[in-house]
Chains A and B, each alone.
Chain A
Amino acid sequence: MLTLDALKNTMRECAGEDEAIDLDGDIADTPFADLGYDSLALLETAARIERAYSVKLDDTVTDARTPRAFIAIVNAALPTATVPA
């Protein structure tokens, strides 16, 4: 399953990070816009996650406003076997 740390690492790698923002803080509910990420950064991140997790994400994934919402969409799309009970 996708964790917040894995999401942060992916975003750093494929979209960089805003120098003024501490991604290591408590950001699960911080809107992506406030984290310095636009819709293209989300699109790029979604594509990376699709490849890394062999998952097909719905286009609505880029509508996710926060990391928590994004992670929930990804984990709901993963086969249940990979989600711990």
Chain B
Amino acid sequence: MTVITGIGVVTPTGNTTAEHWAATLRAESALARVRRFDPSGYRCQVAGEAPAFDPAEHLPSRLIPQTDHMTKLALIAAKAALADAGIDPADLPRYGAGVVTAATGGGYEFGQRELQKMWALGPEHVSAYQSFAWFYAVNTGQISIRHGLRGPGGVAVADQSGALQAVAMARRQLRKGTPVMLTGAVDSALCPWGWVAMQVSGELSPRPEPDRAYRPFDADAQGWVPGEGGAILVLENDTTKPHYAHIAGHASTYGEALVDAIRLCLVDADVAPEDVGVVFADGAGVPSRDAVEAAAITAVFGPAGVPVTVPKTMTGRLLSGGAAVDLATAALALRHQVIPPTVNVTRPVPELDLVLDRPRPGSIGSALVLSSGPGGFHEAVLLTRPKECMTC
């Protein structure tokens, strides 16, 4: 059985797992008007920016000039995840640990800066590090090099649902014999280039008020807002070691069939719908996509048949990082037996039991995490509580 033994989180609500979890339980939103660049004139002006930090305090100086902002965040999360799992990769066999991350595109901010230099000053001004810093595989590569993780490597590029695919890819490597896999996603596109690229989806919210811009499953839903950050998880097959949760099931579908992803995931986990304690919904905030998701949840669990939450209402949608953070948050919810809340939703759709504004304690045996990307990617992962903790 694949288990989560380590978690590293960097989100707009905190650049450590503890800060993120505490802010999430306080229902503290980090959404605000964009500060990283001037958002005037763009359709969407609200974002969830990761807390400012000094890279020199967290990263070796060799890595600073060669990394985009989102890779710096990913390296911080990966180191925290390994420490949390109590793993020193030097103690592992040479090919004993691998990395699979997800990405939507790569290092947009770095890429924009270097492309601007190319057109304004000439190609000789472009950094040699552009060759990989804006590449979608860069986080997998940098995490692997920094920690000497020579096992299987990979990247899932599936827009906002990639992180759960990455987890599934990592689980396959564990089943094939690699003892430790780092997986998840950390992402950012908070620069004008990335912003315009996201804007053409037509899904970004035009509302300038941070508390009204992103309201999934609300009668007032008008789209989503981007955020930056993500989570890196350490997965292992070792069930005797302390761990947060089992990765009990996964399914992936393409097209309109989110409901099939949920059903197949429960079959993979061998868990009945009535034993699912909470659903971390994708919560696109786009009325048509919310309707599909609400219908799929209702088809499997019945009307208001399971608590549903969208903690990413506090961070914005972290591109490929969002579902990774949902997995981390779901694992923490299982450990602490409390469902984190959804914020800013005032007129929820009646068919869902949304956990609003404050955490809801309860007996939670398993948590379903859903994730969808534009174009029809659907992913579902079911986490279950470690057996030895069922009564604690």
Contact = CB atoms under 8 A, between A and B. Distances in A.
Interface size class of B (residues with CB under 8 A): 10 to 19
A67 B61 CA distance: 20
Interface stretch (A16-24, A68-76, A77-85): A16-24
Contacts of A50: 124
Contacts of B60: 16, 18-19
Contacts, number: 37
13 contacts: A12-B61, A15-B65, A15-B66, A16-B61, A16-B65, A17-B61, A17-B62, A18-B60, A19-B60, A40-B66, A43-B128, A44-B65, A47-B128
Given A12-B61, A18-B62, A19-B61, 16 more contacts: A15-B65, A15-B66, A16-B61, A16-B62, A16-B63, A16-B64, A16-B66, A17-B61, A17-B62, A18-B60, A40-B131, A41-B62, A44-B129, A47-B124, A50-B124, A51-B124
- Which 9 pairs of residues, A with B, have the shortest CB-CB distance? A16-B61, A16-B62, A43-B128, A44-B128, A40-B128, A17-B61, A16-B64, A16-B65, A18-B62
A47 B127 CA distance: 8
Interface in B117-139: 124-125, 127-129, 131
A18 B125 CA distance: 24
Contacts of B131: 40
A14 interface: yes
B79 to A, nearest CB: 15
A18 B124 CA distance: 26
Contacts of A36: 62
Interface string B51-72: 0000000001111111000000
Contacts of B64: 16
Nearest to A16: B61
Contacts of A15: 62, 65-66
Given A47-B124, A50-B124, A51-B124, A40 B129 contact: yes
B341 to A, nearest CB: 42
A44 B127 contact: yes
Contacts of B66: 15-16, 40
Nearest to A62: B128
A24 B66 CA distance: 23
A16 B62 CA distance: 4
Interface in B266-305: none
Nearest to B121: A51
Nearest to B132: A40
A31 B9 CA distance: 38
A51 B62 contact: no
Contact of B125 (A16, A41, A43, A51): A51
Contacts of A44: 65, 127-129
